[in-house]
Structure 1
Amino acid sequence: MDYRTAFAISAAGMQVEQTRFNISALNLANANSTMGADGRVYRAQRVITSAGSGNIGGFNQVYTAWKNANAGLAGPHVEDVVEQNLAPRRVLDPGHPAADEKGFVELPGVNPATEMVTLMNSLRAYEANVVAMNAAKSMTLKALEIGGK
């Protein structure tokens, strides 16, 4: 396996985890928003990923070179970011400007605990990809040292 393959796979994993982290942070930031720019309650989003089958993190020439020989070694990629179909939370707050006639305000159905777990998981996965990339770098440098003697 070419050392650049390991870099490409780790880079693809880091890109996926960064997207997952950003979407989860967006959900947390909007957890108490009453309505978005479109006039409706914010809907939590989720990242849909899949095993790679195509361009890995912009390393197209690397991917093409090893695609057939290493068919199972494709990095992940983001398929889509979709809105979740969660019911909004209803909170009693009669003084709020967005309250209905009964004094209830509709807030997004974002669960802060779930979003925090998602943030921690994506951070750990990102760190694991950085460690894998650094290991590949170390092996490459060691191979160059050995080859240079």
Structure 2
Amino acid sequence: MDYRNAFAISASGMSVEKLRLDVTAANLANIHSGKRVDGTLFQPMQVISTEAGENFSTQFEQLAGAQLHGAQVVGVTTTPTAPHMVYQPGNPDADDKGFVTEPGVNQVTEMVNMASALRAYEANVVAMNAAKTMALKALELGGS
């Protein structure tokens, strides 16, 4: 087995999870943002990812000699969520009834996304360390 492939798989997973963390942080940072200069509101974003290369089940069936691939980002999309109306009559952005329109970012959902991305990142780190340990042991066995 080529250990570089195992490292590449873990690295691709870590880069996807890093992007998920960055997008979640951007969503949380804009939770109370007002309208932009063009009059639009911030729309929450999400990362769309998939496995790189061929279908995983096809590769699993042909495991002897198959090249496994990692994860890849398909794109970052906005999620169409309804804005929140918050009663703040003293706010200069308030309408005639005293309501301010804020982005439809759900803080609980974003925190769950953050915890999930952190755990997945940690799992990829553990897998990379396991591959590194196996490669070192193979070198030790080959050297004796």
Q: What TM-score comes out, normalization by structure 1 length?
A: 0.86
Unaligned runs of 5+ in 2: 55-63
Cα shift at 1:53 = 1.6
Identity, in percent, stands at 53
> Could you tell me how far apart the structure 1 residues matched to 2:141 and 2:36 are?
59
Aligned pairs, how many?
Answer: 135
Query: CA-atom RMSD, angstroms?
Result: 1.5
> Could you tell me how far apart the structure 1 residues matched to 2:125 and 2:38 are?
38
* Alignment of 1:69 onto 2:65: yes
1:134 is paired with a residue whose SS is helix
* Alignment of 1:45 onto 2:45: yes
> Could you tell me how far apart the structure 1 residues matched to 2:83 and 2:102 are?
5
- CA offsets 1:40-98 (integer angstroms, 9 cap, x no match): 111000000011128xxxxxxxxxxxxx9325x21111100001100100111110111
> Could you tell me how far apart the structure 2 residues matched to 1:137 and 1:38 are?
51
Equivalent in 80, 84, 88 of residue 85 of structure 1: 80
Cα shift at 1:37 = 4.7
Cα shift at 1:24 = 0.6
**Which residue type is aligned with residue 12 of structure 1?**
S
Q: What TM-score comes out, normalization by structure 2 length?
A: 0.89
Unaligned runs of 5+ in 1: 55-67
